[in-house]
Amino acid sequence: MTDYGKILDLWSKKKISSGAELAEALNGHSIAFAYHSGRIENEHITYNDTREIFEHDSVTSYTGDLRTLFEIRNARDANELLLDAFDEKRRIDETLVKEFQQSLTKNTYDTRRWQVGERPGAYKLHDYVTGRSEIGAAPEEVKEEMDELLAELADDIPQAKTLTAAAYFHAKFENIHPFADGNGRAGRLLMNYFLLLSGHPPIIIHEEDRKAYYKALEAWDERQELDPLINFLQEQAVKTWEKQLRRAERENGV
């Protein structure tokens, strides 16, 4: 069995069914996820600041800008939303998508976006550059494209296809780019929520691997190739949970 298969087996044995059990199983992983996901787009985010805010709701000797501080606090709030949503087994619909994005971006929209009517928790009203040759879906097409994507996600998906479905959702979400800001952070958190609902461990996309991550997303944008992102997510899953896997192997004398 591959390490990826072993990690899936290890997670399934936890039989997590509540938000409290999930919080215990994730332990420090929620902090690591928030740090890496935030730092992919904001190099000023530090692990120590993230840990202090998650653990103490404050940070000592902070010298950064207010937006960065808001982003870290928002990541903590979004993590609480994820735990509550999991506890209630909320399905991923337009309301939840907007709640996740609003939680991650409140108090961070810049003046220009605010002046043109953009608001956290609402689909975008204007075009924004998303990549080298992409601006995402046209604002007037966002709701229809998101409705189609969410309908696909609501279909019964075999357990063996969970990661494929998660990769597809993430690639399509980023391609649509439904919001004026926070699409990457919202997309990564929503992908993990989908994985958790499907009995799959969440995945940290490590900030030091961002180039490979962007390349995998570009493979979908440019050629509709999903395998690069699936393979990347498998590698990141192993990287996320390898220490726990090795510990379990030692305890079992493997």
Specify the pLDDT at position 252. 77
Question: Is the separation of the CB atoms in 193 and 206 below 8 Å?
Answer: no
CA dist 7 and 9 (Å) reads: 5
Tokens of 123: 């689909």
Tokens of 28: 């420090």
Tokens of 197: 């609902």
DSSP H helical ranges for 89-138:
94-105, 111-115
CA atoms within 13 A of residue 71's CA, in its CB half-sphere? 28
| pLDDT one-digit tens code per residue, 118-133 | 999 999 999 887 665 5
CA dist 131 and 195 (Å) reads: 26
Mean predicted confidence (pLDDT) in 24-48: 94
CATH of segment(s) 3-251 = 1.10.3290.10
| pLDDT one-digit tens code per residue, 238-248 | 999 999 999 88
Q: Which residue is listed with tokens 């002046």?
A: 115
Mean pLDDT of the chain: 93
| pLDDT one-digit tens code per residue, 149-204 | 999 988 778 888 999 999 999 999 999 999 999 999 999 999 999 999 999 999 99
Query: Which of the residue ranges 70-74, 127-131, 145-149 would you say has the lowest mean pLDDT?
Result: 127-131
pTM of this structure? 0.94
Mean predicted confidence (pLDDT) in 137-149: 96
